[in-house]
Amino acid sequence: MRFHSPQKLKTIADLIGARFIGSEDFEVLGTNEIHRVTPGDIVFVNHPKYYDKALNSAATVILIDKEVECPEGKALLVSEDPFRDFNFINTHFTRIYNFTEELHDVEIGEGTRIHPSAVIGNNVKIGKNTHIFPNVVIGDRTVIGDNVIIQSGTVLGGDAFYYRKLNGNFDRLISVGNVIIENNVEIGNNCTIDRGVTDSTIIGEGSVLDNLIQIGHDTIIGKRCLIASQVGIAGCCIVEDEVTMWGQVGVASGIRLEKGTILLAKVGVNRDLTKGTYFGMIAEEFREYLKKEVKLRNLK
């Protein structure tokens, strides 16, 4: 999430009541989740297990629950509750409406058809010659390109599934990102594409999604991907161009799939995969899977 204008470290520290380490004029450009951070971003960390990852990430401001040595060229915000304060910063700079106010700052391109039963949030942009079917829900800040088809019951821009356990309950990390659907994408019935926590969930140009597909926050689907029914892709994944996923594939969070990879039905993906064809509950290269099956049968 980018601020509308650059902020100073002291301004952010004062906003959340945190101590800061670094120059009070240190420039802060926005916030981001650890998988998507870039220079100028604030990233939060609240467990020693992840200190090194956050401190050595591309982020230049680390919102942390303990004073540690500050890496050169970076700054720290020391907070008693970084998760809470990360939410506070995000919602201070990004207004959350969630259909409670109908401001409808919507741009719609020429030739686009939207069924009257569709529900559209605020600050939405829809390109030319796009077709939105009945009962589609389009959340705030969603961007949809040209020549896109979105079929009935699909929801774009729902909240990210991102929680912590606090006092016996679940506490949500509030989503201030968005969804971007690029040109010539087709999305089937009853799909759900969550908006990014602080960045964009992206469906690349020319990709086609079947019915009943879930795509998690901050995931990037490349160009010309083909995804069959009941696939579930967790948050922060990168699916490169021309990947094919058949029915009921499941992909764990933070996974990268190389361009041209093929996942056959019901594959479970728990690690990064290079280009190939995979099958099995824990993804195996298909030829190796078949060899194993032959050996097992020959044991009888």
User: 80-84, 253-257, 288-292: which range is least confident on average?
Assistant: 288-292
Which positions are annotated as active-site residues? 217
pLDDT one-digit tens code per residue, 154-206: 999 999 999 999 999 999 999 999 999 999 999 999 999 999 999 999 999 99
Q: Of 89, 99, 100, 124, which Cα lies nearest the Cα of 1? A: 89
Report pLDDT digits (tens) over 97-148.
888 887 778 999 999 999 999 999 999 999 999 999 999 999 999 999 999 9
Mean pLDDT confidence for 72-90: 97
> Binning pLDDT at 50, 70 and 90, where does residue 293 land?
confident
Sign of CA dihedral 135, 139, 141, 147: negative
Mean per-residue pLDDT of the chain: 96
| Residue 52 confidence (pLDDT) | 96
Give 136's contacts (C-beta < 8 A, 6+ positions apart). Answer: 115, 118, 119, 150, 151, 152, 153, 154, 155, 156
Confidence of residue 300 (pLDDT cuts 50, 70, 90): low
Q: What is the pLDDT of residue 102?
A: 77
pLDDT at 185 (0 to 100): 98
Give pLDDT, residue 286: 87
pTM of the full predicted structure?
0.94
DSSP 100: S
- Average confidence (pLDDT) over 248-264: 98
Lowest mean pLDDT among 2-11, 138-147, 175-184, 290-299: 290-299
**Average pLDDT, integer, range 272-277:** 98
Integer CA distances (angstroms), 265 to 73, 244, 252, 273, 286, in order: 47, 10, 16, 16, 12
For residue 238, report the phi and psi dihedrals to the nearest 5 degrees: -125, 115
Q: Select the more confidently predicted residue: 210 or 104.
A: 210
CB atoms within 10 A of CB 114: 18
Query: Bigger pLDDT: 298 or 48?
Result: 48
